Structure 1
Amino acid sequence: MIARLSHVRNWIFDLDNTLYPASADLFAHIDRRMTAFIADLTGADPVEARRIQKAYFHGHGTTLAGLMAEHDVDPHAFLAYVHDIEMDVLEEDAPLAAALARLPGRKLVFTNGDKPYALKVLDRLGLGGSFEAIHDIVAMDLRPKPQASAYAGLCAALDIDPHASLFVEDMARNLKPAKAIGMTTVWIDNGSEQGPEEDRSFIDFHLHALTPWLESILETP
Structure 2
Amino acid sequence: MEHPRPPAKQSAPLLASVDAWLFDMDNTLYPARANLFAQIDRRMEAYVARLLGLGREEARLVQKRYFHEHGTTLRGLMLSHGVDPHHFLADVHDIDMSVLDPDARLASALDSLPGRRIVFTNGDLAYAEKVLAAIGILDRFEAIHDIHAMAYHPKPDPRAYAGVVAAHGIDPARALFVDDMAHNLKPAHALGMKTAWVNNGSERGDHGHSPDFIDHELADLTDWLEELTA
TM range, smaller chain = over 0.9
Q: Is the 8 A contact 2:48 2:63 kept in 1?
A: yes
| Residue 198 of structure 1: how far off its partner (Å) | 4.2
Would you say the 8 A contact 2:182–2:209 is kept in 1?
Answer: no
155 and 38 in structure 1: CA distance in 2 versus 1, 3 angstrom threshold: same
Structure 2 distance, partners of 1:197, 1:133, is: 28
| Distance in 2 between residues matched to 1:61 and 1:117, nearest whole Å | 18
Contact 1:173/1:194 (CA < 8 Å) preserved in 2? no
Counting matched residue pairs gives 219
- Pairing 1:112-127 to 2, within 5 Å after superposition: 112-127=122-137
The residue aligned with 1:25 is 35
1:76 equivalenced with 2:62 (yes/no)? no
CA distance in 2, matches of 1:197, 1:104: 30
Structure 1 position 6, deviation (Å): 2.0
User: Quick one: structure 1 residues 198 and 217, their matched pair in 2 at CA, closer, same or farther if it must change by over 3 Å?
Assistant: closer
Give the aligned partner of residue 12 of structure 1.
22
Match of 2:208 in 1: 197
| Aligned residues of 1:172 and 1:200 also touching (Cα < 8 A) | no
Q: How does 1:35-74 map to 2 (within 5 A)?
A: 35-74=45-84
Report the 3-state secondary structure (helix = DSSP H, G, I; strand = E; otherwise coil) of the residue aligned with 2:98: coil
Q: What secondary structure does 2:140 align onto?
A: coil
2:41 maps to 1:3: no
Q: Percent identity?
A: 59
- The one-letter code matched in structure 1 to 2:158 is A
Which residue number in structure 2 is paired with residue 208 of structure 1?
A: 219
- Structure 1, residues 32-85: CA drift from partner, whole Å, max 9, x if none? 111111111111111111111111011111100000111111111000000111
**Which residue of structure 2 lines up, in the alignment, with residue 179 of structure 1?**
189
Counterpart of 2:138? 128
- Opposite residue 156 of structure 2, the aligned amino acid is P
**Aligned letter for 1:102?**
S
Distance 2:142 2:209 in 1: 33
Mapped to 2, the partners of 1:97 and 1:198 lie a distance apart of 28
Give SS of 2:154's match.
Answer: coil
Residue 130 (structure 1) shift = 0.4
Distance 1:200 1:29 in 2: 32
Give ranges in structure 2 of 5+ residues lacking alignment.
1-10
How far 1:201 moved relative to its partner?
A: 2.1
Quick one: which amino acid aligns to residue 113 of structure 2? L
Given that 1:34 and 1:53 are in contact with CA atoms closer than 8 Å, whether structure 2 keeps it comes out as: yes
Q: For the residues of structure 1 that align with 2:67 and 2:175, how far apart are their CA atoms? A: 27
Where 2:17 maps in the other structure, the secondary structure is coil
Task: Give, in whole Å, the separation in 1 of the partners of 2:180 and 2:211.
Answer: 13
- Residue in structure 1 matched with residue 8 of structure 2 by the alignment: none
SS in 1 for 2:99: coil
Distance 1:41 1:197 in 2: 31
Cα deviation code 1:159-179 (max 9, x no counterpart): 001110000000111111000
Q: Cα offset for 1:199?
A: 3.3
**Is the 2:110–2:140 contact (alpha carbons within 8 Å) kept by the matching residues of 1?**
yes
The residue number in structure 2 matching 1:217 is: 228
SS of equivalent to 1:11: strand
How far has the Cα of 1:142 moved from its partner? 1.0
The alignment status of 1:169 with 2:179, answered yes or no, reads: yes
